[in-house]
Amino acid sequence: MAWGILLAGGRSSRMGTDKLDLTLEGRTLAQRGVDALLSVADVVVVASPHREGFDDPRVEFVLEDPPFGGPVAGIAAALEWLPEGDVEVYLLAGDLADPAPLVALLASGVPGEDGLALVDEEGWPQYLAGRYRASALRRVVSGEVRDRSVHRTFRPLRLALSPVVSAMAADVDTPEQARHAGIDPTENRCDNRRSTDLSNLDE
């Protein structure tokens, strides 16, 4: 059984509006992330308390305490919801414009001892687009997780790295990036907007 974790929050300070509510081809970025994960996972845990537009029983919601703790804190909260045992976990940032091809790459790759992450053309591992053993995540996502660096947290993992074109793994942090992805950041938004954010994905 595979699980998915979607980090669907963020202060969205550079966007000026909740970027997870921006829409592309009729779906919010959060919905696109959930759909991509459900193509490979039996259950998706979303690090966000906002359930608007999600009626699928395979989708669960969690919130780190206190909120605004950053991506690692969101991962820690999601891991608490997962069952005991060494299940496979697909981890995805929620602010990706086109997550489906990334998830397909992860699903087709051969993981290392602790899992598999994508790596861009400049050699930077994209840890928030990865496929991991739950035990490996629990090993590194422990202790004080608030505002902890993603790269510092994930660096000790023994991972296989799968190359990806940088443009495919680009997130949507600014209005310029949104327009480049085909999103109008001023008009093309979900009607059910969320009032607060959870994990700072703008790290």
Angle at 171 between CA 109 and CA 125, to 5 degrees: 45
In a domain, 109, yes or no: yes
Tell me: the pLDDT tens digits for 147-167?
A: 999 999 999 999 999 999 887
Q: Determine the pLDDT at residue 24.
A: 79
| Whole-number Cα distances in Å, 156 to 109, 140, 151, 165 | 20, 8, 9, 24
Per the domain annotation, does 115 fall within a domain? yes
Mean pLDDT computed over 133-151: 96
Q: Are 98 and 140 in contact (CB under 8 A)?
A: no
For residue 14, the enclosing domain spans 2-180
pTM: 0.85
Q: Report the distance separating Cα 82 and Cα 86, nearest Å.
A: 10
For residue 15, give the CATH number of its domain.
Answer: 3.90.550.10
**56 inside domain:** yes
What are the residue ranges of helices labelled H in the chain? 29-38, 71-81, 99-108, 134-140, 150-154, 175-180
146 found inside a domain = yes
What proportions of the chain, in percent to the nearest 5, are helix, strand and coil? 25, 25, 50
| 77 class by beta-carbon count within 10 Å (0-12 exposed, 13-18 middle, 19+ buried) | buried
Is 130's pLDDT higher than 60?
yes
* Within-domain flag for 193: no
Q: How many domains does the chain have?
A: 1
What is the rounded distance in angstroms from the CA atom of residue 198 to the CA atom of residue 26? 24
Structure confidence by residue, pLDDT tens digits, 107-123: 999 999 999 999 999 99
Residue 37 belongs to some domain of the structure: yes
53 part of a folded domain: yes
